[in-house]
């Protein structure tokens, strides 16, 4: 079977016309699949870009990031002050208990705020 492709191109196809049509249909389907895969990979690339751009901090998160540093410093200073109060010799049991509770709360707040600061810092660096 001779197949005229145009632009003076002639191919010799081994088989009859039905075989040729089946072959051509399968080639068309393969080309569509290749195009769809290429489109999917382009879509994946674009979705990666949107994920990357979403990794940037929002305005509120930027404000939070800046304020967290100040808050952590203040909490650390307060933590040191409470630790110094423990060195006093005239502490009663009630004062020690209240200072211990306050110290525990401040330590927890420092830990929580530091974790959040690290999260925002990691997102900021990308």
> In terms of pTM, does the model score above 0.75?
no
Structure tokens at 35: 């195009």
Residue 100: which residues within 8 A CB-CB, separation 6 or more?
Answer: none
Indicate whether 71 pLDDT > 90. yes
Range with lowest mean pLDDT among 4-8, 60-64, 86-90 = 4-8
Q: What is d(CA 96, CA 81) in angstroms, rounded to the nearest whole number?
A: 14
Note the CATH architecture for domain 57-125.
Orthogonal Bundle (1.10)
Higher per-residue confidence, 121 vs 44: 121
Residue spans of the domains in the chain: they are: 2-52, 57-125
Q: What is d(CA 98, CA 43) in angstroms, rounded to the nearest whole number?
A: 58
């Amino acid at each position: 079977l001779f197949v005229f492709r145009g632009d003076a191109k002639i191919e010799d196809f081994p088989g009859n016309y039905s075989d040729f049509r089946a072959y051509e249909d399968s080639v068309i389907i393969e080309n569509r699949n290749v195009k769809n895969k290429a489109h999917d990979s382009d879509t994946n690339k674009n979705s990666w870009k949107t994920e990357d751009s979403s990794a940037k901090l929002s305005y509120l998160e930027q404000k939070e990031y800046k304020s967290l540093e100040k808050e952590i410093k203040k909490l650390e200073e307060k933590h040191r002050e409470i630790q110094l109060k423990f060195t006093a010799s005239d502490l009663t049991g009630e004062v020690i208990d209240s200072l211990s509770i306050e110290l525990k709360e401040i330590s927890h707040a420092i830990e929580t705020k530091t974790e959040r600061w690290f999260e925002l810092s990691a997102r900021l660096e990308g």
